[in-house]
Every structure is written in structure tokens, then in C-alpha cells.
């Protein structure tokens, strides 16, 4: 079992702004919307960016417990501890990690936790990356489908 403490990130808003700018440029340059549609697009992207930065910080867990069996516990503010299973759609990169999850049993709640390397101690960041790469499986492999293990 690995216990990881999560701190607020200075880099996370930068990553979110860059991702939203990439989305905006793909619409603006790829679809060539009119002035009105461009204004609506800008408003939607601004709302999404606000929601991503401000609202997600309120719901970000402060502690993440990673089990040897592939399960994890999230300590969500205002909700307490949530037992969860990582989803196969999780993405592990060098400086950022998107950990998709759903609670069990029943999978009523789902979420995606975006973590940046400056939120964890270097040793914890490396452990989390290794755990996510080894424990998170695509959905087909977890259901007895074709795939290596």
C-alpha cells in the first residue's frame, strides 16, 4: 500500500490554460466559425477553464492511497473517503498524470484526477507513475477480453 499526499500545484493552471488554448485553436482554425459562433466558443472555453481550475481545486483529494490489488482510496473534501478503481482511460506522462476512476460497487460516481509532478514529493511521483502504469488496465483486459497482463 502506498500513501501519497497531494499538495496544491503551481503548474496545473498552466497545463489547463495550454490545453484549453489548443482546443480553442483547433475550433477557430479548423472550422472557421463566424463571429457569433466564435464568441460563443470563447465563452464556453472560458467557462470550462474556470470550472477546471477553480471548481476542481475544491474537489481535489489531499490523500491518495494506492493498493497493491489495483484499487485506491481518495479522500475527497466534503465527501470523505471513496473506494475507487482506476479506469483504463488513465494517461501517464512524464510531468502530468490523468487518473480516471469510478467508485465501487455500482460505479455511481466517476472522475478524473489530474496530477502534476509538483504536487507530490519526487519519490511519491515516481511511485504513482509506476503504480498507474502497472495497475491500471484497459477495460477489455479487466473483463477477460484479449490482452496481455
pLDDT in tens, 94-145: 999 988 888 876 667 788 888 999 999 999 999 999 998 887 765 544 444 4
Q: Look up the pTM and report it.
A: 0.71
Per-residue pLDDT reduced to its tens digit, 49-94: 888 777 767 667 788 899 888 888 888 777 778 888 888 888 899 9
Residue 97 and residue 125 share a domain: yes
| Rounded distance between C-alpha atoms, residue 118 and residue 36, angstroms | 39
Report the alpha-carbon distance of residue 10 to residue 116 in Å, rounded.
Answer: 9
pLDDT for the residue numbered 137: 62
Pair (70, 110) in one structural domain: yes
- Nearest Cα residue to 4 out of 136, 126, 133: 126
Lowest mean pLDDT among 3-7, 21-25, 55-59, 69-73: 55-59
- pLDDT over 80 at 31, yes or no: no
What letter does residue 11 receive in the DSSP assignment?
A: S
pLDDT bucket at 32, cuts 50 / 70 / 90: low
Residues 72 and 130 in one domain: yes
Long-range contacts of 28-35 (CB under 8 A, 24+ apart): none
Residue numbers of the domain that contains 120: 2-7+60-136
Residue 147 included in any domain: no
More confident residue, 89 or 147: 89
pLDDT score of 149 more than 50? no
Question: Is residue 116 classed as helix, strand or coil in its secondary structure?
Answer: strand
39 assigned to some structural domain: yes
Q: Which residue has the cell 479487466?
A: 142
118 with 96, same domain: the answer is yes
**Residues 50 and 81 occupy one common structural domain:** no
Q: How many domains does the chain have?
A: 2
Phi, psi of 37 (to 5 degrees): -65, -35
pLDDT class for 148, splitting at 50, 70, 90?
Answer: very low
Same domain, yes or no: 80 and 50: no
Amino acid at each position: 500500500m502506498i500513501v501519497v499526499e497531494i499538495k496544491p500545484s503551481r503548474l496545473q493552471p498552466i497545463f489547463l490554460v495550454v490545453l484549453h488554448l489548443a482546443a480553442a485553436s483547433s475550433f477557430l482554425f479548423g472550422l472557421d466559425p463566424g463571429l457569433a459562433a466564435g464568441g460563443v466558443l470563447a465563452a464556453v472555453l472560458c467557462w470550462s477553464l474556470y470550472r477546471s481550475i477553480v471548481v476542481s481545486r475544491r474537489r481535489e483529494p489531499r490523500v491518495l492511497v494506492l493498493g497493491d490489488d489495483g484499487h485506491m482510496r481518495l479522500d475527497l473534501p466534503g465527501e470523505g473517503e471513496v473506494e475507487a478503481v482506476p479506469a483504463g482511460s488513465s494517461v501517464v506522462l512524464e510531468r502530468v498524470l490523468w487518473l480516471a476512476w469510478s467508485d465501487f460497487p455500482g460505479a455511481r460516481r466517476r472522475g478524473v484526477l489530474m496530477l502534476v509532478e509538483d504536487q507530490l514529493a519526487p519519490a511519491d511521483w515516481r511511485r504513482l507513475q509506476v503504480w498507474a502504469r502497472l495497475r491500471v488496465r484497459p477495460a477489455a483486459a479487466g473483463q477477460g477480453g484479449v490482452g496481455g497482463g
